[in-house]
Amino acid sequence: MKQPLLLLAFIGFFITASLFFVGGYHAGFYFINQWATAYPEWLWQWLTVLGDERVAFTLMLVLAWRYPQLLWPLLFAAILATLYSRGLKELFDATRPAAVLAADSFQRLGCELRQYSFPSGHSVTAGMVGGVLLLQLRWIEARIALILFVILIGISRIAVGAHWPIDVAAGLSGGFLAAELGARLAARWSAPTLTRRSRRVLLGLAAPMVLSLLVNDGGYPQAALLLQLIGGTAFFYLTLRF
């Protein structure tokens, strides 16, 4: 498969269009949200925080520190993904399930969100980071496992009651597409050399976001421990190499 990200993006946009034209903007929400109640609440909260921009940034920083060749495509992809997510959210300003449905009619975990539903930002982030990593993998089994994991992060946004399925499908598609375009842009321009001084500057700029994982659960209290483990481990790892 020479262009897996383009195929994944196409599939996601096809699902987005199909859901909308067959069942409308809210299509499939109750089915997935109720199905998710069969699994522990902490599981969905753990999965959903992995799409948090702070977690993605922290993981990107650690990966780029260990594998400098990832920094350039990750940077381009992150910029494109941010433009896609923020731009469409402002353009559509769609209401979320909590603003439309009765509180006792669906499962809502964590903080209550009511606006800027389309697309799912967590799904965009998961698709973007997962897409960049996907291009580095050679084993088909590892690729399939990574794709399924990214999809689960997207589904978690429906499970916690924060997004409609259309939001997630469009979010994952946009993230995969951003990763593909980011990789192409990175291949066109040579990456700057990361000196020891530039690494220290990068760590200094990133430190507040990394440390915020230790004190801010992102609205999902059952995932606080996971965020603390990610933030603490990353900060310890990076400090050793400061």
Q: What is the pLDDT of residue 61?
A: 81
Q: What is the pLDDT of residue 70?
A: 84
Question: Between these two residues, 189 and 95, which has the higher pLDDT value?
Answer: 95
209 alpha carbon, distance to own chain's centre? 16
CATH of domain 4-193: 1.20.144
Question: Between these two residues, 188 and 120, which has the higher pLDDT value?
Answer: 120
Q: What is the pLDDT of residue 65?
A: 76
**Confidence tier at 210 by pLDDT (50, 70, 90):** confident
Tens digits of residue pLDDT in 213-228: 999 999 999 999 999 9
51 alpha carbon, distance to own chain's centre? 3
- Which token pair is 42? 């902490």
Phi, psi of 204 (to 5 degrees): -65, -40
Rg of the chain over all Cα atoms, to the nearest angstrom = 18
Q: What is the pLDDT of residue 242?
A: 65
**Confidence tier at 13 by pLDDT (50, 70, 90):** very high
The pLDDT mean for the chain works out to 91
Q: What is the pLDDT of residue 184?
A: 93
Tens digits of residue pLDDT in 142-162: 999 999 999 999 999 999 999
Mean pLDDT calculated for residue range 202-221? 85
- pLDDT of 1 > 60? The answer is no
- Which token pair is 222? 């059952």
Tens digits of residue pLDDT in 18-76: 999 999 999 999 999 999 999 999 999 999 999 999 998 888 888 877 787 888 899 89
Q: What is the pLDDT of residue 196?
A: 67
Q: What is the pLDDT of residue 220?
A: 96
What sign does the CA torsion over 222, 227, 229, 230 have? positive
- pLDDT of 205 > 80? The answer is no
Q: How much helix, strand and coil, in percent to the nearest 5, is found in the chain?
A: 75, 0, 25
Mean pLDDT calculated for residue range 84-97? 95
What is the rounded CA–CA span in Å between residue 157 and residue 125? 12
What is the rounded CA–CA span in Å between residue 207 and residue 163? 30
57 alpha carbon, distance to own chain's centre? 10
Q: What is the pLDDT of residue 2?
A: 60
